Amino acid sequence: MRAVPLAVAVLVAGCGTAGPATPPPAPPPSQAVAPAPQPPPDTFDLAAAEEFITREGFTPTPPEGTLTGPLRAIHSMCTGSANGRCQEVFFFDGQRVAGSVHAGMVEIAEQDGSSVVLSFPRYAPGDPGCCPSAGTSIHRITLVGGGIKDDPPIPELPNGQGG
């Protein structure tokens, strides 16, 4: 029975007489925490996007320069269009199709990877097909919730009544 009180006395005495705690040694370099991996570079398979557009019945217009993302726009015409007034702009979020805009005529005025500016020539009633006279309407496209958002909204007849 004497062993139990002696063990308690040793434990209590050891608690109060210890010196300052020594910090644990630093881990060797092989066990050091590695920095977080960087995301892969922004890549876009233009050939695959153009192939998709072709399968949809359109002929893509080759873009000027490299398209930065994540939002990319590619202009196209209806394959076989006699007068070129059947156009579509396809929008990609990375490699995924996020939407498209159809018009008789539309131009990509600018794109910077986060927004795309579309320009629509406007026809006044009675204008011949060659000559829209009602100016242009400008619309900015952005990605929202996996789809595209137009600001201001593109009207049902983006080129107006004529043409």
Query: Are the C-beta atoms of 69 and 44 separated by less than 8 Å?
Result: yes
Q: In what order do the strands lie in the sheet with 58-60?
A: 58-60, 71-78, 87-93, 96-103
pLDDT tens for 63-73 read: 988 899 999 99
> Residue 82 has what pLDDT?
87
Mean pLDDT value of segment 20-32: 56
Mean pLDDT value of segment 108-132: 95
pLDDT tens for 127-137 read: 998 899 999 99
Partners of 18 in the beta sheet? none
- For residues 44 and 112, what is the distance between their CA atoms, to the nearest angstrom? 14
> Residue 26 has what pLDDT?
57
Q: Look up residue 141 and give its two tokens.
A: 């496209």
pTM for the whole thing? 0.73
pLDDT of 159 over the 60 cut: yes
Give the percent of the chain with pLDDT over 70. 73
Mean pLDDT value of segment 112-126: 96
Give the percent of the chain with pLDDT over 90. 66
More confident residue, 43 or 20: 43
